[in-house]
Structure formats: structure tokens, C-alpha cells
Amino acid sequence: MIHHMNEEDRHRAHDRVQVLKAYRSRQRWRLLWLLIGPGILVMLGENDAPSMLSYAATGSQFGIGFFLPFVVFTFALAFVAQEITVRLGAVSKTGHADLIYRRFGRFWGNFAMVDLLWTNVMTLITEFIGVVAGAGFFGIPAWLAVLGALTLIALATFSRRYWRWERMTLAFALFNLIFIPVAILVHPHWASVGRALLTWRPLPGGINNNTIILLLADIGATITPWMLFFQQGAVSDKGLAAQDIRHGRWDTAIGATLATLAALAAIIATAPLYLHHMNAAQFGAAQFAQALRPYAGRIGATLFALGILEAGLVAAMTISTSSAYAFGEVMRVAHSLNRPFHEARGFYLVLLLVAALSGAVVLIPGFPLEYVVIIVNVVAVLTMPPAIGFLLILANDREIMGRYRNTTFLNIIGIGVGVFVSLAGILYALTVILPNLKF
């Protein structure tokens, strides 16, 4: 029987044997090590270049205050959505786009795929902007930075094992925590940080068009449609089963915690720019790093630039993979990192082409870096409500989920996430129609 397995099934069966051995021998830490991955990757991958620049812009404009607990809150919402995704992937053993295709039909399956590919390419452009801007701090030319990033993506992709790809990407992703030492190096007033987290102070100057844009950018920095497609595809590709759901939750919770710490650190690190009346919202990564040098020193500035470069690289790896998963699922072709290239050409070509196309766009002279970086997170918020709708319907489908379907409590929380994101989108629409709107 094993003889007739394809390479994808053999790799997944081998990994599953290791998991079952750890279950039987009750090796809890080894079991966690074997099962973690998708949750940490999706959360740290969402701490991408535009997200970290949004947090930096937030710190530079508002300092330490309202946005610290707000970011914690948005990551809690992201955890709710991704926990549902873990259950969907582990129980159905298939990707998100495939479930939409099967449950809602070809039209909605194609719609979900095209919508995801479009938003993913937009987001990938900003990831390469981050790579180029971060590399620019070290004097690396843009074309070389893009080429280097594409080379690393290709090397990880052609490892021919999901496990190897996951571990390589995880190693890069953990560098997102580099923002924590930057925050320490600016010597913040930690008592003020603690008070801000516990008291949730009002926004200085109230809510206006600019604050709404940053609010939406920070929501879009934690909750986006690609996360659903990536994590469910990764859970399926990794071979997680229903019995692994608890570990999948831990994986996602660990990822959310680490990503929250890095996001808060980026805000704290750039808060001195606010205290010294510097509005750095229009800065790219290299300019932010230069502006931080008087407060964090050369080491802190260097770490900040490296962090933006890493954020763009890891997100480029995960977002391009989510595009390939969706394409393979809807087009009914092989879509696994456990497959060799000749068995899954469409999957690998989509993965590499969306990355290469996005990297090429960044090299166009005069490309509007600042505008695209902010607007991409806003677009992510506007496209999230229908994604939440699909997610909740699938999570309540008795035929798909059986006893693992959503409870009433989880539905209330899930609907709350959808309503919150929808209201944020409506608020943004109002600011477009009424640009002088104030609250």
C-alpha cells in the first residue's frame, strides 16, 4: 500500500508517525515541537512590512497611549478567526478555498480565489517595498534586495518537504522579535507603558480622518483574508488531525502572543519621535531607522531596518504560498509543498510568479511607497467582512465539522469580530465621503 503512495502522502505519513510516537510516549514538548508551525507563521507573517510600518507610524504620531491596548485587542480578534481556521483544516483536511468551492459552488470558489490573488499581489508589493527599504539602510541596491528575497523564497519552496519549508520560514519569522530590543534601547518609561495597557486612554485630539486611517491600518495589520487561506492550507499540508486541534490552538496562541509583543515594541520604539514632535508617518523603513538613531543608537537603528527587511521577506514567503494553495484548491490540481515540481507545476508556478511580479513592480521608478503601504492594510479591512462570513458558515456546517462545529459562544464572538471589522470599514467609507468628519 505504501508503495503506491505518491511523494506527498509518503512525506505526510512519515511526519504523522513521528507525531503518533510522541502521543504514545507522552512526550509533551516534542509533540508541541512537531505540531506547531502554521499558527506562529501566520501571526508573525501578518507582522509584515506594511504592518510594522503602520505600527511605527502609530508610535511616531500618537506615542504610548490608546494604540497599545488597541493592538492587543486586534490580535485577540485575529486569534478568534484563526482558531476557527485551525479546526476547519484539521477536521476537513483540505484548504479554505476548496471548502468554499465545495460548499458554495464554482462561482464563489473562483470569486474567493481571484479576490485573494488580487489582494495578495497588492500586499506582496508592499512586502518587497519593506525588503527594499530595509536593505536600503545598508546600502544594498533595490534590484539586489529583490533578487535576494526571490532567491530565498525559491530555495525554501523547492525544499520538497512542507516540514523543511516550515522550519526554514519559522527561523526567519522569529527575527520579528528583533523589535523588542529596539524598544528597550530607546529607554521608554515602562510605568507609562503599563498604565497605557491597563487604562486604555482616549486618543489625543479625538478621532479624525488621519486617526481613522491609522486605526484601520492597525486592524488590517492583524486581521486579513490571506491568513485564513494560508493557515488552513498549511494545517492540511502538515497533516494535522482532529486530535491535534488543542495543539493547533496553542500554536496559534503562541504566534499571537509573539506577534503582539513585536507590534507593541514597534510602537514603543518609535514613540520618542512623537515626544520630540516628529511626524514620521511618511517615512519608509530606512528613514524610520535613521530617525531612531539619536534615541536607539546605531545598533537600535540597524535592528529596526533588519526587522522591516525580515518582516517583508517572511510575509512574501507565506502570502505567496497562500495564493498557490488557493489556486491549487479551486483549479483541482496538486497543491502541496510535499510534492516535487513536476507533480505540482501550477502550484509552484503561481507561488513564484506572484512573488516575482510583485518584486518587479517595486523596481518601477517613482513607485508611491508611502501611499501603498498604508492603503494595503485599509483594503485588507474592507475585504475581511465577506471572508468572516464564509468562515462562520463553514464552521457551523454539520456535514463538514461534525462535533467540532462552532458553539453558540464561539459564534457570538465570531459575529462580533465580523461586526467590528464591518463597522471599521463603514467608518472609513464615511471619512472618504465626508473628509472633514470629526468625532
What per-residue confidence (pLDDT) applies to 260?
A: 96
Distance from first CA to last CA of the chain, Å, rounded?
67
What per-residue confidence (pLDDT) applies to 182?
A: 94
Residue 304 and residue 269 in contact, taking contact as beta carbons nearer than 8 Å: yes
Residue 196 and residue 68 in contact, taking contact as beta carbons nearer than 8 Å: yes
What per-residue confidence (pLDDT) applies to 158?
A: 85
User: pLDDT per residue over 328-352, tens digit each?
Assistant: 888 888 888 888 888 888 999 999 9
What per-residue confidence (pLDDT) applies to 2?
A: 45
Which three-class secondary structure state does DSSP give residue 68?
helix
- Domain positions in the chain: 36-433
What per-residue confidence (pLDDT) applies to 283?
A: 55
What per-residue confidence (pLDDT) applies to 79?
A: 94
What per-residue confidence (pLDDT) applies to 1?
A: 42
Short-list 367, 366, 318, CA closest to 44? 318
What per-residue confidence (pLDDT) applies to 163?
A: 86
The Cα–Cα gap between 133 and 148 comes to: 14
Short-list 225, 198, 162, 220, CA closest to 15? 162
What are 222's three cell numbers? Answer: 492583524
What per-residue confidence (pLDDT) applies to 275?
A: 65
The domain defined by 36-433 carries CATH number 1.20.1730.10: yes
What pTM was computed for the model?
A: 0.88
User: pLDDT per residue over 128-178, tens digit each?
Assistant: 988 988 888 888 998 999 999 999 999 888 877 888 898 888 988 998 999
The Cα–Cα gap between 75 and 283 comes to: 25
Kindly give the parts of the chain with pLDDT less than 70: 1-6, 204-209, 275-286, 369-371, 373-375, 377-378, 428-439
**E-assigned strands of 104-224?**
none
What per-residue confidence (pLDDT) applies to 28?
A: 85
Give CA separation, 366 vs 119, 263, 361, 362, 371, in Å.
Answer: 22, 29, 11, 9, 12
What per-residue confidence (pLDDT) applies to 179?
A: 94
